[in-house]
Structure 1
Amino acid sequence: MAALHGQQNTLTLPRSVEREMSRHMHLSLPQEACGVVLGESAAGGIRISRFQPIRNVAPDPLHHFSLDQSEWIQCLFSDVTIVGVFHTHPCSLPIPSQEDLQALPNFAGLIHTYLIGAPDLSVSAPEDFESPMLLNAYQIISNEEQEPSGASFPLHPYSLIPLTLRMT
């Protein structure tokens, strides 16, 4: 597994991969869904090429996610490049929660992007289609690498900053 390093400006996501992620989210409801996105570095950012669902084995999967360790390890030791982790918030907006920030050290040394999806409940879909997915992408940043701001210490060792998400 090769990790992608450096500042990335844009995350490019094919609509077909976004549909796979959305389908996994809807099939997992009311629980949080999770998985990894695979891809490569591209000019000006990262290009996602595939989505790999991973079972959520959290004790409380309605409100948290935990990647199945055997599936996660299998991804880590395969010859694909893991671009980031994807999970969903079934009942809230796709913005980082305190639990998300607390879990970042589990991934931060291995990946640099974090995607959060949520059902778009503002749009009604026909009965035979799932509602669209709201999707936000973030870059994982170490707070130790940032300039110290006074004498205070960061609450979490890592932060998430928004990435531009471009659908193709």
Structure 2
Amino acid sequence: MKQYPDIPLLDQDGLHRVPLRFYAVLLLLLRPYLCWLVTLVMPEAERKAVLSFFYPLADDFVRAVLIAIPALLVLAAISQRVPYDKQQRRGRAKKFWFALWRYGRWLLLAVASVDLYWTISHLPPYVALNAPGLLLIVAALGLSVLYLLRSKQLRLIFTEWPEDKK
């Protein structure tokens, strides 16, 4: 096995580093919220047009937001994945967030699977001609499901939580 001495495997708190691929999966699963944020900063007249480009029916957007709620909770849990230190006012007590973080991989896998099923089952006719970007989303969701299932590093990351500092 190759050794890479200049790439640390642990972060400053002694935990395994979260890979960038994991953040890419989070971005993919949280795309309804990102789309919502983008439309909020646009002028009032263009909001509906941009949102309807990504979600042709209003119900599709609402369903996508509801499907992505567990991914939003995992994002909140990863933000709390630092040791509690009262002097630096950093971190929170681990009871709730660690309980959520421990099952985060399975939550993300469920969200990715449901999102993949929903995206495939609601593809418009002639998707390759009318909306080829949706095919890229389907491929990315399929790869993210495989990544969440097969990654050994994610198994390690989801089992550890920092110890509180005294």
TM score, norm. by length of structure 1: 0.22
- Identify the structure with the greater helix proportion: 2
Larger-Rg structure = 2
- Identify the structure with the greater strand proportion: 1
TM score, norm. by length of structure 2: 0.22
